[in-house]
Amino acid sequence: MEDKIKLHDKVFKPYIRHDRIIAAIDDVADKLNRDFYNCPDVPVILCVLNGSIPFTGELLQRITFPCQVISIKMSSYQGTQSTGTVLNVMGLTSSVKGRRVIICEDIVDTGNTIVALKEMLLDKEGAADVRICTLLVKPDVYDKPDKLDYVGMEIPNAFIVGFGLDYDELGRNNKDIYVIDDNPMKKYYILFGPPGAGKGTHAGAIAQKYNLKHISTGELLRAEIAAGTELGKQAKSLIDAGMLVPDSVVEGMIETAFDTVKGVDGFLLDGFPRNLSQAADLDEILDKRGESVTAVVGLMIDDDMIFQRIRGRAIIEGRADDASDETIANRIKTYHTQTEPLIDYYKAAGKYWEVDVDGGTIEENRARVLAKMETIA
């Protein structure tokens, strides 16, 4: 099943898979076939357009008794709300006088549509008998005394789309059913590049402009070290030697941030992922949430510039991992061997964008990074 989908202004998440829908239709068809086996006349299958097209289509392929198929178009919904007034948008495509009718509906919500239709068929159109057959029903909302003769599945009161159901005419062509997502899809940007490229320098401006939470794994770890936590002590010895902290530790901190930070449109990861296995883990973490990496923005400088920038930063910030040329060289080597392969990984996924920040002032480079973000966001 695919990820979340966006229709007009709303996001929908996967809800009922196609194979479950088909299993429900199989059951409904079995019941109909039993009830209409050896029926003395030819019943009419009435497809209520447009939502019931896929349902009626699948059902017909399973119906074994002779039947006639006709359509009608009704409307009671506007956007995601029932208006309470049922409109007969298009007349019956054939008379049902004296006939047994099986109404095929995609979904019964308040029941306004189906009950109005049933009454119309019996009282105005002279049908001999009317049965209601619906793929879905929302029992919490349905408040009519009329029996629903054939029901595929009961669902809670939530707005759904797919398999014929629409949101303002979009979504009918999805083979699975999706439910409206009250917690819409977040953006996940990765700020990528060698140490000293300016990830931390530019992250604030990007995060502010796009309402993202900036997550610097280095800063999260340094906060643990400063607080003297167990995790911090373990991390310190590794960081001081220019080595990487175990993936599980970093990933745990990131997942916690994804779960707990509210009120943002997404996250800006800085310093993570740093190797291919972390990138695969990140994909898995996001996949579980029905989400995925939005884009990776690589800030590129060459090795000489890395030395120059980090030496300068060491004087200003006094970071232990910036202290000696040997540590810097070690970090550059780690970057080239472990982190750089991520460029190809994200390029292959069509998610990699690059900004040259080797020359220029901080302001100039920030403008370049923000301009690049504009082309992605």
Active site residues per annotation: 199, 274, 313, 319, 331
What is the distance between the alpha carbons of residues 245 and 308, in angstroms, rounded to a whole number? Answer: 25
Q: Give CA–CA dist 224/221, Å, rounded.
A: 5
Neighbours of 208 (CB within 10 A): 10
Burial of 315 (0-12, 13-18, 19+ CB in 10 A): exposed
Instruction: In angstroms, give the least distance from the CB of 106 to ligand IMP.
Output: 5
**Residue pointed to by tokens 């890395």:** 306
> C-beta of 126: minimal distance to ligand IMP in Å?
23
Q: How far is the CB of 116 from ligand IMP (least distance, A)?
A: 8
Query: Where on the chain is the footprint of ligand IMP (CB under 6 A)?
Result: 51, 76-77, 82, 105-114, 159-161, 165
Nearer to ligand IMP, 103 or 197 (CB): 103
200: which 2 tokens?
Answer: 């931390």
Q: Is the Cβ of residue 103 or residue 191 nearer to ligand IMP in the bound state? A: 103
Measured between alpha carbons, how far is 336 from 137 in angstroms, rounded to an integer?
Answer: 57
Q: How far apart are CA 190 and CA 170, in angstroms?
A: 32
CB nearer ligand IMP, residue 13 or residue 366 = 13
Ranges of H-type helices in 189-298:
199-209, 217-227, 230-240, 247-260, 276-288
Contacts of 64 (CB under 8 A, 6+ apart): 33, 37
Q: Which CB atom, from 165 or from 279, has the smaller least distance to ligand IMP?
A: 165
Pick 76 or 201: Cβ nearer ligand IMP: 76
Write out the H or E segment, with its range, that includes residue 46.
strand 44-49
Shortest gap between Cβ of 165 and ligand IMP (angstroms)?
Answer: 4
User: At its nearest, how many Å lie between ligand IMP and the CB of residue 171?
Assistant: 8
**Which of 251, 324, 260 is CA-nearest to residue 282?**
251
